Structure 1
Amino acid sequence: MATVKTAKRTRQSINREELESRILRAAEVLFAEKGYSGSSMEAIAVAANISKQNLIYYFKNKELLYKRVLTEMLDVWIEKLSFLEKNGADHQDTPEVIIRRYVREKMQLSRLYPNGSKVFAHEIISGAPMLKEYLVSHLKPQFDRDVILVKTWIDEGLVENIDPEHLFFTIWAATQTYADFSVQMEVLLGKPRLEAEDFERAEIAVTDFVMRAIGAKTKE
């Protein structure tokens, strides 16, 4: 009997997770396209193919749902960003290898999570009214650790005497633009949409640019 009950709870848990994920993805698309003010719970429910009552059962209001979409995106971003610290602290990889991996991960975020990136960009452009505290408590500690790592590289003579903070700002801007301003890229490249090879090409260009800026060798 216990096994049957456990199996039932497991199925219920899986179904709940799947539905919640569907709601979040639907909300992510609408927030990316229409912004927070232009999206409604009714429209999100339609996009998720559920009733509004069912949507409210999972998320009581639009603000809670919006914050969840934002924090999920930032959590994914921080997980990828920590790749720099982990590789620098736990391994003997060179700055070139670490930065190349870092840029690759950031470019993958733009390719795989374009809508989440757009929602995040909308929030930041608006002054981060719902995300500022989360940025301070979650993003800044990771950022500070990564800056310290780059300063260590500078002190050891492994890279040029660059501005660590603005190195990261430049990498973020160069990689996120392929998600946040993808339409501009598509128009200028004469393509209906950006494809995997476009991101690969961009990754090589951005990485080589960064390598030259910090004084590291580029791939032969």
Structure 2
Amino acid sequence: MEVDFKVAPEEKVRKKPSFIKPWMGLKYLFKKPVTIKIPYERVQIAKDYRGFHTLDWKKCVGCNFCGQICPARAIEMTWIEVDGKMEKRPHPKIDYGRCTFCEFCVDVCPPGALGFIENYILTTEWKDEELELFDWVPIHPDKFREINEKFPDYRFPVEKIEFNKETKEVTYYLRDGEVMKFKILGYGIRPPKPPTKPAQKAAAKAAEKNDTKPVEKPTEKKEAGKIEEKKE
């Protein structure tokens, strides 16, 4: 069965110029604005809204399923040292400059260590030290909820993040005044190599020098002995 399609003439499609319609916008000058002044105004967030991540460091097994499924490649497995002890498994570090908040990583996490919370407001003045907030290892969900009880404004729980390039120490300044400190030892699935001590470095250099010395062949020694005998 064939169907005939009618094409609308150009006269009906083309909009006619109007000098009155632009002036109709003046009526909105006397109405209240509809823009919500976030973060100064609060709004009701939907239940299970996909916001910032939470992480139970004890449950995390470092399987990297979250990093493999992440479509934006926003997750990097990180080896952490807390109170002088290295964690047995690496933990995910999330870059919110790349994250799309799809929460596939939460769905695929086998032990349920990675979760999310309704908080979603991350505002900065675009200073270098403030941009560090976009890249972090999430904190425990219980601590996140504790901060939310004091500050129910859906904002990021960390006010400031400091990173010491020499000691590799990271410091979280939480909104409730608490301070968290840990060291980043390396990245990836495999554990980082332990740092070598100065004495070990010196011994390794000496061994390298001994290995690089030319070894005399036995034939060369025999020929040198024959030459000495002829001279005598």
What's the TM-score, normalizing by structure 2?
0.21
What's the TM-score, normalizing by structure 1?
0.21
Larger fraction in helix: 1
Larger fraction in strand: 2
